[in-house]
Amino acid sequence: MFIGAGLFLFPITEATYDFRTDVREDTAEVETAVAVTTGNMTLIKAVYDSDTSTIDLASSLPSDLPVYSSYNVTSRQLVFAGLTANESRTMYVNYDVDALVGTPSIGTLLNINPFLWYAFAIVFIGASIAALVLGRA
C-alpha cells in the first residue's frame, strides 16, 4: 500500500519541477582550430540547481557530435567536445533555468511540497488502517 502511494506521488514531484523550471535555448558561434575538437560558450543564465543532465547540445554542422564536457557554476561557462576540427558552426544549447527568480517564498514552498504530499499520504493510510482496526470505517 505504501509503495502504491509512493508511485502515485511521483507525478507530483515531476509537476513541481516542471512548474519551477523553464527551458532556455542559447546560441553561439563557435570556431575550432586545426586538431581542436572542443569548444566553449558562456550561458546567459545559470543551469537550474547545477543539474547538467538537463543540458542538450546541437550543432549546425552535421559532422559534429557535440557532448557535454564540463560546466563552471560561477562563470556559467559550458565546455563541450565532439566537434569537427577547423570548422565554424552555430551551437544550440537547451537547458533548464529557474522560472521563479525573485520569488523565494514560492520556491521554499515548492521545495517542501513533495514532502508534504508524502506525509499526507502516510497519515491518510495510517488513519485508514486505524479506522479499519477500530471498526469505525
Residue-number span of the structural domain to which 75 is assigned: 2-134
| Whether pLDDT at 74 is above 80 | yes
- As a whole number, mean pLDDT of residues 86-95 equals 96
According to the model, what pLDDT value does residue 2 have?
57
> In angstroms, rounded to a whole number, what is the distance separating the alpha carbons of residues 127 and 129?
5
Task: Give percent above pLDDT 90 in the chain.
Answer: 55
> In angstroms, rounded to a whole number, what is the distance separating the alpha carbons of residues 107 and 49?
12
Number of domains the chain contains? 1
Query: 122 CB contacts (<8 Å, ≥6 apart)?
Result: 2, 5
Going by pLDDT thresholds of 50, 70 and 90, the confidence category of residue 19 is confident
- As a whole number, mean pLDDT of residues 54-76 equals 96
Q: Tens digit of pLDDT for each residue in 42-58?
A: 999 999 999 999 999 99
> In angstroms, rounded to a whole number, what is the distance separating the alpha carbons of residues 82 and 91?
12
| Whether pLDDT at 18 is above 90 | no
| Whether pLDDT at 10 is above 70 | no
Going by pLDDT thresholds of 50, 70 and 90, the confidence category of residue 38 is very high
Q: Tens digit of pLDDT for each residue in 117-135?
A: 777 778 888 888 888 888 7
Q: What is the mean pLDDT of the chain?
A: 86
